Amino acid sequence: MPKWGYSIINEMLNPEKTAKASGRELKVSHKAAREVAKAIRGMDLDRAKDFLRAVIAKSKPVPYTRHTKKLGHKGGMQKHCVGRYPIKTANAILHVLQAAQANAENKGLDVDRLRVMHSAAYQGVKLKRYTPRAHGRASPKFEITSHVEIVLEEKPTAGEQ
């Protein structure tokens, strides 16, 4: 079994104030996963969950910054004018976010003060298969997977600063 690590350095994390979760080899687009992870980075936990639920309901688009060729414009977006509704990806990242929340609750962190400190998505293993076709030929049938990492951090209260 492979040993997975995180793309964030452990020395940057305070173990008493952070909780991590990761989704490995999720069958979602790595391009969409990267954009959704970038969109929720820095948000409060409740706001990030509401944003992902709005994307799933197709009421709020995810702004795309990298893979923008031939993308349609979406109204009501700030700073960016192109975006999409990656429903499958938002659902998978919502599950990873809920797992990170459960890990934080298990550690005894205050759920109301959590924010997404780090969220990253990158390409996973490519599953290569081939479908037989007529006249002895074959067509590729590749499945792309993604790795998603989320780290939640408890914000300090006004008295702790």
* Residue-wise pLDDT tens digits, 3-34: 788 888 878 888 889 999 999 999 999 999 99
Is 75 in contact with 18 (CB distance < 8 Å)?
no
pTM, to two decimals: 0.88
Please, which residues bridge with residue 19 across strands?
152
Tell me, yes or no, whether 80 lies in a domain. yes
Residue ranges making up the domain that contains 83: 18-154
Tell me, yes or no, whether 7 lies in a domain. no
> Model confidence over 82-122: pLDDT tens digits?
888 999 999 999 999 999 999 999 999 999 999 999 999 99
What φ, ψ does residue 37 adopt, rounded to 5°? -65, -40
CATH at residue 39: 3.90.470.10
DSSP, res 10: G
Tell me, yes or no, whether 1 lies in a domain. no
| Structural domains in the chain (count) | 1
